[in-house]
C-alpha cells in the first residue's frame, strides 16, 4: 500500500513563512532588525528541512492528494484548499525553499543599512509562502491564488524603493503585463471548470479524453486546444515569454536579492511548473504544443541576443533568464516536461548564484552596476570571482557543470521532436548556445579581468540598485563581501557543479516523477528517443566533447575573450558595422517604444474617448444632466399654469369639460341638446 504524507507536516511547510511574514510585517519595528531576520530566515529554513523530509518520503513512494479545507460550494462546484504532493511538487518545494533560504541569509548582509529592512524580510517570506501554495496545490482555485499572490508580492518587491520613479514604473509595468497573461489564464481555468464541473486536478485530468472530442461552441476550434493555449498565455506572462517578456528586465529595479528570488525560484518558474503539471491536458493538443515550441524558441534566441549589448551587470543576467526560460518552454513544447523541470532546477541554482554574485560585485563597486566601470576584480574578491565563474560555466553548458546536462538534454529532445515548428526551435536553441556563452563571458571578462577601470570612475554617486554604501564610503578599492553574502554563494555553487551529474538519471530516465507527468510517447517520442540513447553521465560528457553545442559554447567564450581581453577595438568595430541592427538591440527591438507609444497611448486615447464621450457626454451629459434639464423645463411650464388665481382654474375646468364632451359625446346627441 502506498504511504501517505502527514498533512500537518505539509501545512507547517506552507504556513511557517506566512506566519513569520505577518509577525515581521506588523511588528517588525517593535521586535527589531535582528529578530526580524532571524524569525523569517529560521521559518524558511524550517520549511526547507521539512521539504527535504517530504522529498525523501516521496522518493520512497509516499504520496498525498487530499482536500485540507472546503472553502465554498457553488452548486456542484467545490472550491477547496488541498495539497497534491508527488515527485513534481516535492522537487519544486525543495528548490524553492533552498533558494529562498540562501536569499534570506544573503539579504542580512546586502540590505543591512536599508531603512526598509524588516519590510523586505516580510515580503520575501511572503513570496516563499505564495510560491509554496502554488506548487503544492491540488486544484485550479488554489493554483490561481498562488499565481496571483506571487504577482502581488513581486509588485511590492520590484517597487520596494517606491520613492524612485523608475521603480514605480517597473512594478506597474510588471503588474499590467501580467494582468494580460492572467486574463488568458483565468479564461482557460473557466473553460475547464465549465466543461468538467470541477476545479480539482485529478477530476479534470480524468475527463481529458472527453474534452479532446469537444469543439468550442460556434467554432470549429478544439476546446482542449483553446483551453491549453489560454493557460499557456498565463504562463507567457509569469514566465516572461515573447511578447509578454518586457517586464522582466525592468524588474531589476528591485534589490538584488529579490532579483535572484524572482528569476531563480519564484514567479518566473510558476509558468513552467504549471504547464508540466497540466501535461495530461497539453498532450491532447499538438497545436498547443507547437505554439509553445515556437514561442519558447523565439524567446530563447532573440532575448539572449539582447544580453550581448547590455552594460548593466544585472540586466545581462536578466536577459539570460529570459533566454533560459525559453529553453524550458521549448522542452515543454517538445513534450519533454521532465527535462524542462530538470533545467528549471539546475537553472535555479546557477542563476541565483549569478545574481547574488553580481550583488556582491555591486557592493564592492559602491553600488555601481555599469560593467564599463569595473575590471580586474578577481584579486580583490576571490570568493565572488570563483563562484561567479562556476555560475557562468554552468550557464554556458560546459561539462561537468549542471547546465550542461540539462541544456544538452533540451537540445536533443527538440531535435527528436516531429511537431510543426521543431526545426525552427532546434535552430534557435542551438544558436542560443553560442549567444549564451558570448554574453556570459563578455560579462565575466569585463568584471573580473582586464584593466581596473574603477580607478578612473568617481563613486560618489551610487548605482540605481541601492541607496546605501554598506561601509564602503571613501574606499577606493573593492573588497570581498562579508560572510553573510559569501556563504550563500558557496551554498549555491555546490549544486551548480553537482546537481546535473547527480540528478539527471533519476529525473529523466528513472521513475522519480512517476504519474505526476504524463507523456503520450506514441505521438510525442522525444523522451523515448533520449532514453534509447542514454548510457550514463560519463558517456554523455564524452559525447558532449564532440557535439555541436559544446563547440558553439567554446566559440562564444573565445569570441568574448578576443573582444574583451585581446582586441578591445573589436566590439566597437562590430557595433559600427551592424549600425541599425545594434540600435534595435539597444532598444529591445523597440518593444518598449511600441508598448508605450502605440498600445499604452492607444489605450489612453480609447479611455479618454470613453470618458469624455461615454461618461461625460452620454451618461453625465445626456442621461443625468439631460434628465435634470427636462425636469426643470417641465417645472417651468407647469409653473405658468399654476398661477394661484381662482378664475384661471374655473376657466380651465370649463375648457376641460368642453373638450371632454367634444371627444366622448356623440355629435348628433350634442347637436340635439343645442337645438332644444
599 or 21, higher pLDDT: 21
Say if residue 413's pLDDT is above 80: yes
**What does pTM read for this prediction?**
0.86
Looking at the DSSP assignment, which residues form a beta bridge with residue 215? 222
d(CA 489, CA 541): 26
Looking at the DSSP assignment, which residues form a beta bridge with residue 82? 67
Would you place residue 638 in the very low, low, confident or very high pLDDT band (cuts 50, 70, 90)? confident
Helix axes 337-364, 87-110, angle to 10 degrees: 0
pLDDT for 665 equals 67
DSSP states along 533-568: T---HHHHHHHHHTSHHHHHHHHHHHHHHIIIII-T
For 626-653, b/e burial (b = at least 16 CB within 10 A) is eeeeeeeeeeeeeeeeeeeeeeeeeeee
**Residue at 507 is within a domain:** yes
**Residue at 473 is within a domain:** no
- Mean pLDDT taken over the chain: 87
**Residue at 216 is within a domain:** yes
Tell me which residue of 3, 54, 90 sits closest to 512, measured CA to CA: 90
Say if residue 555's pLDDT is above 90: yes
Say if residue 448's pLDDT is above 80: yes
pLDDT for 472 equals 41
Cell numbers that stand for 461 in this block:
554617486
**Residue at 662 is within a domain:** no
pLDDT for 626 equals 81
Say if residue 537's pLDDT is above 60: yes
Q: What percent of the chain has pLDDT over 70?
A: 95
pLDDT for 137 equals 93
Model confidence pLDDT, tens digit, residues 370-392? 888 888 889 889 999 999 999 99
| Pair 260, 356: CB distance under 8 Å | yes
Cell numbers that stand for 381 in this block:
574578491
d(CA 367, CA 469): 7
Say if residue 600's pLDDT is above 80: no
pLDDT for 12 equals 94
For 484-499, b/e burial (b = at least 16 CB within 10 A) is bbbbbbebbbebbbeb
Model confidence pLDDT, tens digit, residues 233-260? 999 988 889 888 888 888 888 888 888 8
pLDDT for 469 equals 43
Cell numbers that stand for 285 in this block:
493538443
Would you place residue 667 in the very low, low, confident or very high pLDDT band (cuts 50, 70, 90)? low
Cell numbers that stand for 369 in this block:
552596476
pLDDT for 533 equals 84
Q: What are the backbone angles phi and psi of residue 418, rounded to the nearest 5°? A: -115, 20
pLDDT for 473 equals 41
pLDDT for 460 equals 47
Burial class (CB in 10 A: 0-12, 13-18, 19+), 287: middle
> Can you say how many angstroms the Cα of residue 117 is from the centroid of all Cα atoms in its chain?
24
Mind spelling out the 3-state secondary structure of 436-464?
HHHHHHHHHHHHHCCCCHHHHCCCCCCCC
| Pair 49, 166: CB distance under 8 Å | no
d(CA 198, CA 212): 16
- How many domains are contained in the chain? 1
Say if residue 430's pLDDT is above 90: yes
Model confidence pLDDT, tens digit, residues 127-175? 999 999 999 999 999 999 999 999 899 889 888 888 888 888 888 888 8
**Residue at 676 is within a domain:** no
**Residue at 627 is within a domain:** no
Say if residue 465's pLDDT is above 90: no
d(CA 397, CA 188): 35
d(CA 671, CA 428): 102
The arithmetic mean of pLDDT across residues 588-613, rounded, is 81
Give the domain range for residue 282: 7-459+480-566
Would you place residue 666 in the very low, low, confident or very high pLDDT band (cuts 50, 70, 90)? low
pLDDT for 44 equals 94
**Residue at 327 is within a domain:** yes
Which of 194-198, 407-411, 667-671 has the lowest average pLDDT? Answer: 667-671
Would you place residue 344 in the very low, low, confident or very high pLDDT band (cuts 50, 70, 90)? very high
The arithmetic mean of pLDDT across residues 292-315, rounded, is 91
**Residue at 616 is within a domain:** no
Amino acid at each position: 500500500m502506498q504511504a501517505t504524507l502527514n498533512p500537518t507536516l505539509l501545512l507547517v511547510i506552507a504556513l511557517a513563512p506566512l506566519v513569520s511574514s505577518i509577525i515581521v510585517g506588523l511588528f517588525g519595528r517593535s521586535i527589531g532588525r535582528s529578530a526580524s531576520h532571524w524569525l523569517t530566515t529560521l521559518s524558511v529554513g524550517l520549511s526547507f528541512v521539512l521539504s527535504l523530509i517530504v522529498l525523501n518520503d516521496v522518493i520512497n513512494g509516499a504520496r498525498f492528494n487530499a482536500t485540507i479545507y472546503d472553502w465554498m460550494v457553488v452548486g456542484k462546484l467545490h472550491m477547496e484548499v488541498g495539497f497534491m504532493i508527488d515527485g513534481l511538487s516535492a522537487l519544486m518545494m525543495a528548490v524553492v525553499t533552498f533558494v529562498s533560504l540562501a536569499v534570506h541569509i544573503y539579504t542580512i548582509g546586502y540590505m543591512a543599512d536599508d531603512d526598509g529592512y524588516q519590510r523586505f524580510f516580510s515580503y520575501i517570506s511572503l513570496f516563499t509562502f505564495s510560491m509554496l501554495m502554488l506548487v503544492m496545490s491540488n486544484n485550479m482555485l488554489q493554483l490561481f491564488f498562488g499565481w496571483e499572490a506571487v504577482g502581488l508580492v513581486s509588485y511590492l518587491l520590484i517597487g520596494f524603493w517606491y520613492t524612485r520613479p523608475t521603480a514605480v514604473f517597473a512594478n506597474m509595468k510588471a503588474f499590467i503585463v501580467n494582468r494580460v497573461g492572467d486574463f488568458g489564464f483565468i479564461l482557460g481555468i473557466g473553460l475547464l471548470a465549465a466543461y468538467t464541473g470541477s476545479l480539482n486536478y485529478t477530476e479534470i485530468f480524468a475527463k481529458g479524453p472527453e474534452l479532446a472530442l469537444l469543439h468550442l461552441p460556434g467554432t470549429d476550434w478544439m476546446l482542449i486546444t483553446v483551453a491549453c493555449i489560454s493557460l499557456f498565455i498565463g504562463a507567457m506572462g509569469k514566465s516572461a515569454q515573447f511578447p509578454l517578456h518586457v517586464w522582466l528586465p525592468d524588474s531589476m529595479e528591485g534589490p538584488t536579492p529579490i532579483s535572484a528570488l524572482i528569476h531563480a525560484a519564484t514567479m518566473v518558474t510558476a509558468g513552467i511548473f504549471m504547464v508540466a503539471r497540466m501535461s495530461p491536458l497539453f498532450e491532447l493538443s499538438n497545436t498547443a504544443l507547437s505554439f509553445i515550441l515556437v514561442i519558447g524558441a523565439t524567446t530563447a534566441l532573440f532575448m539572449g541576443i539582447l544580453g550581448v549589448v547590455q552594460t548593466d551587470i544585472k540586466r545581462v543576467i536578466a536577459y539570460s533568464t529570459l533566454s533560459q526560460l525559453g529553453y524550458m518552454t521549448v522542452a515543454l513544447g517538445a513534450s519533454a516536461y521532465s527535462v524542462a523541470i530538470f533545467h528549471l532546477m539546475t537553472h535555479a541554482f546557477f542563476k541565483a548564484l549569478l545574481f547574488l554574485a553580481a550583488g556582491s560585485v555591486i557592493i564592492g563597486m559602491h553600488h555601481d552596476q555599469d560593467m564599463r566601470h569595473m575590471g580586474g576584480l578577481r584579486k580583490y574578491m576571490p570568493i565572488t570571482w570563483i563562484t561567479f565563474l562556476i555560475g557562468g560555466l554552468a550557464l554556458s553548458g560546459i561539462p561537468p557543470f549542471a547546465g550542461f546536462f540539462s541544456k544538452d538534454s533540451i537540445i536533443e529532445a527538440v531535435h527528436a521532436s516531429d511537431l510543426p515548428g521543431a526545426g525552427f526551435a532546434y535552430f534557435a536553441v542551438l544558436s542560443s548556445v553560442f549567444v549564451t556563452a558570448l554574453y556570459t563571458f563578455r560579462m565575466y571578462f569585463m568584471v573580473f579581468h582586464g584593466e581596473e577601470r574603477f580607478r578612473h570612475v568617481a563613486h560618489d554617486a551610487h548605482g540605481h540598485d541601492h541607496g546605501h554604501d554598506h561601509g564602503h564610503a571613501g574606499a577606493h578599492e573593492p573588497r570581498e563581501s562579508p560572510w553573510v553574502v559569501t556563504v550563500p554563494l558557496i551554498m549555491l555553487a555546490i549544486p551548480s557543479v553537482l546537481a546535473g551529474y547527480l540528478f539527471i538519471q533519476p529525473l529523466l530516465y528513472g521513475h522519480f516523477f512517476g504519474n505526476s507527468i504524463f507523456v503520450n510517447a506514441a505521438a510525442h517520442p522525444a523522451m523515448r528517443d533520449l532514453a534509447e540513447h542514454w548510457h550514463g553521465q560519463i558517456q554523455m560528457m564524452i559525447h558532449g566533447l564532440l557535439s555541436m553545442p559544446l563547440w558553439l559554447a567554446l566559440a562564444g567564450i573565445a569570441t568574448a575573450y578576443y573582444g574583451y581581453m585581446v582586441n578591445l577595438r573589436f566590439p566597437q568595430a562590430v557595433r559600427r558595422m551592424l549600425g541599425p541592427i545594434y540600435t534595435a538591440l539597444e532598444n529591445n527591438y523597440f518593444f518598449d517604444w511600441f508598448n508605450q507609444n502605440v498600445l499604452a497611448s492607444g489605450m489612453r486615447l480609447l479611455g479618454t474617448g470613453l470618458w469624455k464621450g461615454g461618461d461625460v457626454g452620454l451618461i453625465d451629459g445626456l442621461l443625468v444632466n439631460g434628465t435634470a434639464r427636462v425636469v426643470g423645463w417641465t417645472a417651468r411650464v407647469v409653473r405658468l399654469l399654476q398661477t394661484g388665481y381662482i378664475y384661471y382654474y374655473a376657466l380651465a375646468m370649463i375648457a376641460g369639460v368642453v373638450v371632454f364632451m367634444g371627444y366622448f359625446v356623440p355629435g348628433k346627441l350634442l347637436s340635439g341638446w343645442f337645438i332644444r
